[in-house]
Amino acid sequence: MGARLVRRLVALSCAALMMSGCAAVQSAPAPPEAAQQSAAAPSPSAASSAPATGPSSAAAMVCGQEIREKVAQILALPAAPSPSSTWAGGRYTCTYRLPSGALVLAVQESSDPAAARASAHGAVAALPGAAPIEGLANLGLPGYQSPAGTVAFAKDSFALTVDATGLKEPVGPHGVSRSSLAYQIATDVLACWSE
C-alpha cells in the first residue's frame, strides 16, 4: 500500500473518529491509583500547570473507560484491558499489558503550550526516522511520529505520547502497523479532549 494511500486512509479514519465524538472528559473516571480531583474535570486548555497531588482528569482519561473500550474495539479484544498507571513529575503514564505486548500512553502536563510543544517534540525527536506529522494528519496540532510506532501531539498545556513499539507487528485483526495503531489511539484521546 502506497504512503499516499495510507495517509488518506488515516485522515479519513481521523475525521470519522472526530465526528463520532466520545463521552465528555468529566465522565472518564480517574484510575484508583490516581489522586482524586474535583468532580468537574477541566478541559486540557483549562489546566495551567501540573497538579501537585495527581494528574488532572483530562490526563487521567488515557486510562479511563472510554479509551480502554477503544483499545479493546480496535484490537478486537474480548474485554476492555485493565491498565496500570503512574504519576511522577507532572507525567501520567498508563501502560496497557496486551496479549501482543505493551502499549504505553503518557500525558505530560506543562505550565504552558510552548512547554507542551517542546515535550511532545522531545518525546519523539531522538527516535530513528522521527518527523513532524504534517497536512491533515496533524489535526491542526503540533505532532510528531517515528516509523517504529511512537506518536506525540501537543494540545494546550498537554503533551500526549502513544508508544506502540512494545507490540508485535502487524497489530490487531486488520494487521496495521504499530505507527498506525499509535496514531489511531492518539486521535481517540484528542477527540475526547476536544469536546
136-145 confidence digits (pLDDT tens): 888 999 999 9
Percent of the chain with pLDDT over 90: 67
71 pLDDT above the threshold of 90: yes
- Alpha carbon distance 189, 126 (integer Å): 24
pTM of the model: 0.77
Q: Enter the C-alpha cell of residue 154.
A: 501537543
160 pLDDT above the threshold of 90: yes
158 pLDDT above the threshold of 50: yes
Per-residue model confidence (pLDDT) at position 84: 98
Per-residue model confidence (pLDDT) at position 136: 83
Q: Enter the C-alpha cell of residue 72.
A: 479493546
Q: Enter the C-alpha cell of residue 5.
A: 494511500
Percent of the chain with pLDDT over 70: 73
Between 1 and 38, the more confident residue is 1
Of the candidates 57, 53, 29, 54, the residue with the CA atom closest to the CA atom of residue 41? 57
Per-residue model confidence (pLDDT) at position 178: 97
CB 8: neighbour CB atoms within 10 A? Answer: 13
29 pLDDT above the threshold of 70: no
Instruction: Write the pLDDT tens digit of every residue in 114-123.
Output: 999 999 999 9
150 pLDDT above the threshold of 60: yes
Instruction: Write the pLDDT tens digit of every residue in 35-50.
Output: 333 333 344 544 444 4
